[in-house]
Homo-oligomer: A and B are copies of this chain.
Amino acid sequence: MRFETGSGISNSRNSEALRGALGSSLLERYQRTRTRTLELTDGLSAEDMMLQSMPDASPTKWHLAHTTWFFERLLLQKHCAHYRPFNDAFDYLFNSYYETLGQRHPRPQRGLLSRPSLREVLAYRQYVDEAMADWLQKTPSQCLAENDHNVEHTLVLGLHHEMQHQELMLTDIKHALSCNSYGMPDHTDAVNGSADTHNLDIHKGQTYSEFSGGIAWVGAGDDVSFAYDCERPRHQVLIHPFCLGKRLVTNGEWLAFMLDGGYRRAELWLSDGWHCCQSEGWQMPLYWRDEKDGWKYLTLQGVEPLREEVPVCHISYYEADAFARWANARLPTEFEWEYAAQGYGKSGDHAGAQTNALDVNFAEASRWQPQVAEMSHGLTQLYGDVWEWTQSSFSPYPGYRPEEGALAEYNGKFMANQYVLRGGSCATPQQQIRPSYRNFFYPHQRWQFSGLRLAKSL
C-alpha cells in the first residue's frame, strides 16, 4: 500500500499570494508586529529590561535587539544592496544560537550587556525598521521578485520569530521579577474571597470527548499561510481510539493532587521527574505561594489569590505526567491533540479565534492569565490559555527538510530531549495559534505558560 505525504514544496502556493500584495501588506504586517513588540514593554524601565534571571531566559532589551538583528542579518545584509549595518559589533552580541553565523556572546551573560543602552537598542530598531520600510517600499520588484520566494518567506518567518519572542519577553520578565521580593504589587487584599466564587461545575470532575481514531492528516499543508519547517510535511498518521478531557486541568484539581501527596509519592513519577522533583525541592507549581492566609501566586500583574477554577499553569512535563498518572489518565500525544483540535475550526489564519492571546501591554497585563473554561459540549480552552504538554518527544516528521542556510538551525537542531506542547497560551500572539503549531521545551522547564489536558486510551 502506498499513500501520499503532504506537498514537498511547502511554500509554493502562499508565496505567490504574498507576492501580490507585497508593497503594502507585508510592510504593514512588519510594522504592526514590530510595534506590538515595543508596546509590550510599556511599564518596564531600562533596568527591568536588563534582567536575566537564568540562562534559559533573556533580558527584554536583548529580545528587542535580537529580533532586530534577525531582520538585519538575514534580510538586509543578504538581500538589500548598499545596506550598512547599524553597528558591526551587534552581530556578536545579538546572534542567539546560529553556529553558522559565527561566535556569540555567552548566553548566560546576556544580562551583563548594560551596553548598548536601551536607548541605543531602540535606535537600532528604528534604524532597521526604516531600512526595511525603505527597502520594501522602493524595491519590491527588484528585491523580492528576483530573490524568488525566499525573501518573502524569510521576512514572514522573521515576523513569526518576533512573535515567539513576544511571548518569551513575557515569560522571561515574569521569571525575573519573581526573583525580587520587591517591586511587584500585591493584589491579594482587593480580591480576597473571590476564590470561593468559582464555577462549581468545573469541580464536578473532568468529562471527556471520545475520538475513534484512524488514519489522519497532521502537519501544516498548503492552505496554511505560514508554518515552521518542523510542522511539515503534512502527512498521515494512524491514531488509536482515545478520549480527551473537554477542558484543561484546573488549579483546584492540582490542589487535590498536592493534598493527596502528589509531590511526595515516587510511584506517580517518571524516574527522571522524581529526581528533578527532589533535587529542585518542588512542592507546588512555579510562582505558587503557600501563605498563612491561603494560596497565592505571582502573575504579571502582581501577587494574587489562587483561583481554583482557572487552568493550572507553570508546571513542568514531569509534573503534568505525574498528575495524569494520579488521575488514572495520561498526556495526549501531539497527534491526538492535533487530530481532535482539527474539528474545532482553528485552521487557516484564525481571524475569528476567541482567544485571550497577546493584545495588551505590560502595564495592562490583566488578561495575561489563563481563563476559566466555558461550559461546552465539546473541547474548550484549546487556544489562548495555556500550552498543553503532550507525551510526544519533539522529533522530525517523515520527510522533514530543514530550512536552508542558517535557518536550518531554527528548529531542527533542537529535536532531542524536548517535548511538544500544543495549543497556545494567554501570552501567545494570535497569529501564532494554529492546530499544527509545535512548541517544545525541556521536560523540567516551568517558566512558560504550560499546563495540561488529560487523555485516555479507549
Q: Is A203 part of the binding interface, using a Cβ–Cβ cutoff of 8 Å?
A: no
By a CB distance below 8 angstroms, the chain B residues around A132 are none
Of the stretches A29-37, A66-74, A230-238, A250-258, the one at the interface is A230-238
Q: Is A169 part of the binding interface, using a Cβ–Cβ cutoff of 8 Å?
A: no
By a CB distance below 8 angstroms, the chain B residues around A180 are 105, 112-115
By a CB distance below 8 angstroms, the chain B residues around A48 are 114-115
Of the stretches A337-345, A346-354, A409-417, the one at the interface is A409-417
Q: How far is the CB of A41 from chain B (nearest CB, A)?
A: 13
Which one of B116, B396, B416 lies within 8 Å of A183 (CB-CB)?
A: B116
Q: How far is the CB of A110 from chain B (nearest CB, A)?
A: 10
By a CB distance below 8 angstroms, the chain B residues around A116 are 182-183
Q: List residues 1-18 of chain A with CB under 8 A from any CB of chain B.
A: 1-3, 5
Q: Is A212 part of the binding interface, using a Cβ–Cβ cutoff of 8 Å?
A: yes
By a CB distance below 8 angstroms, the chain B residues around A321 are 416
- Which residue of chain B lies nearest to A92 when distances are taken between CB atoms in the complex? B181
Q: How far is the CB of A278 from chain B (nearest CB, A)?
A: 11
A416 touches B273 (CB 8 A): yes
A235 to B239, CA, bound (A): 11
A1 touches B112 (CB 8 A): no
By a CB distance below 8 angstroms, the chain B residues around A97 are 271
Q: How far is the CB of A88 from chain B (nearest CB, A)?
A: 10
Q: Is A188 part of the binding interface, using a Cβ–Cβ cutoff of 8 Å?
A: no
Which one of B111, B112, B214 lies within 8 Å of A3 (CB-CB)?
A: B214
A215 to B238, CA, bound (A): 8
- Type the 1/0 row for A404-426, where 1 means its CB is closer than 8 Å to any CB of B: 00001100011111000000000
A48 to B120, CA, bound (A): 14
Q: Is A301 part of the binding interface, using a Cβ–Cβ cutoff of 8 Å?
A: no
Q: List residues 116-138 of chain A with CB under 8 A from any CB of chain B.
A: 116-118
Q: Is A99 part of the binding interface, using a Cβ–Cβ cutoff of 8 Å?
A: yes
A112 touches B179 (CB 8 A): yes
Q: Is A270 part of the binding interface, using a Cβ–Cβ cutoff of 8 Å?
A: yes
Q: Is A77 part of the binding interface, using a Cβ–Cβ cutoff of 8 Å?
A: no
Q: Is A240 part of the binding interface, using a Cβ–Cβ cutoff of 8 Å?
A: yes
Q: Is A176 part of the binding interface, using a Cβ–Cβ cutoff of 8 Å?
A: yes
Q: Is A260 part of the binding interface, using a Cβ–Cβ cutoff of 8 Å?
A: no
Q: Is A391 part of the binding interface, using a Cβ–Cβ cutoff of 8 Å?
A: yes
A240 to B51, CA, bound (A): 47
Q: How far is the CB of A69 from chain B (nearest CB, A)?
A: 13
Q: Is A279 part of the binding interface, using a Cβ–Cβ cutoff of 8 Å?
A: no
- Type the 1/0 row for A197-228, where 1 means its CB is closer than 8 Å to any CB of B: 00000000000000011110000000000000
Most buried by B among A99, A112, A215, A408: A112
- Which residue of chain B lies nearest to A100 when distances are taken between CB atoms in the complex? B267
Q: How far is the CB of A132 from chain B (nearest CB, A)?
A: 23
Most buried by B among A100, A330, A398, A414: A398
By a CB distance below 8 angstroms, the chain B residues around A395 are 391-393
By a CB distance below 8 angstroms, the chain B residues around A413 are 269-271, 274
By a CB distance below 8 angstroms, the chain B residues around A417 are 272, 417, 443
Q: How far is the CB of A8 from chain B (nearest CB, A)?
A: 11
Q: Is A58 part of the binding interface, using a Cβ–Cβ cutoff of 8 Å?
A: no
Q: Is A194 part of the binding interface, using a Cβ–Cβ cutoff of 8 Å?
A: no
